[in-house]
Amino acid sequence: MPTVTYICPDGELEEVEVPVGTSIMKAAVSHGIESIVGDCGGSASCATCHVYVESHLEMLPPKTSNEDEMLGDAASEVLPNSRLGCQLVMRDDLASLVVRVAPEQW
């Protein structure tokens, strides 16, 4: 099963197996990674699942205009590799994805 390594704001690394078709936000929340909130449940309307993608960035689908707009409301600095974790759905070819969780989600 593909894995995602979450680099948490405190520097801890959490490696989680994520089923294909599951968002990296949902996988983080279900594994107790509290630095990802996912307040809206994954409908791209809260920006509390902000991550910085540290690998495979070029393989991800481009941001939708809605995702881009929501990132504008993110609590942490938005960088070129910023994404909403709820909009990143695991695929087989993304195995070993690495994301750094944004330091502030509220």
d(CA 48, CA 61): 20
d(CA 62, CA 8): 24
Contact 50, 84 (CB under 8 A): yes
Among 70, 94, 98, 99, binds ligand FES (CB under 6 A): 70
d(CA 54, CA 96): 11
Decide: is 47 part of the binding site for ligand FES (CB under 6 A).
yes
Decide: is 29 part of the binding site for ligand FES (CB under 6 A).
no
Among 5, 7, 14, 40, binds ligand FES (CB under 6 A): 40
In the complex, the smallest distance separating the C-beta of residue 28 from ligand FES, rounded to whole angstroms, is 10
Decide: is 28 part of the binding site for ligand FES (CB under 6 A).
no
Q: Classify 99 as helix, strand or coil.
A: strand
Closest by Cα among 45, 37, 44, 36 to 87: 44
d(CA 6, CA 15): 6
In the complex, the smallest distance separating the C-beta of residue 72 from ligand FES, rounded to whole angstroms, is 12
Decide: is 90 part of the binding site for ligand FES (CB under 6 A).
no
Among 24, 25, 97, 102, binds ligand FES (CB under 6 A): 25
Q: Point out which residues bind ligand FES (CB under 6 A).
A: 25, 38-40, 42, 44-49, 70, 84, 86
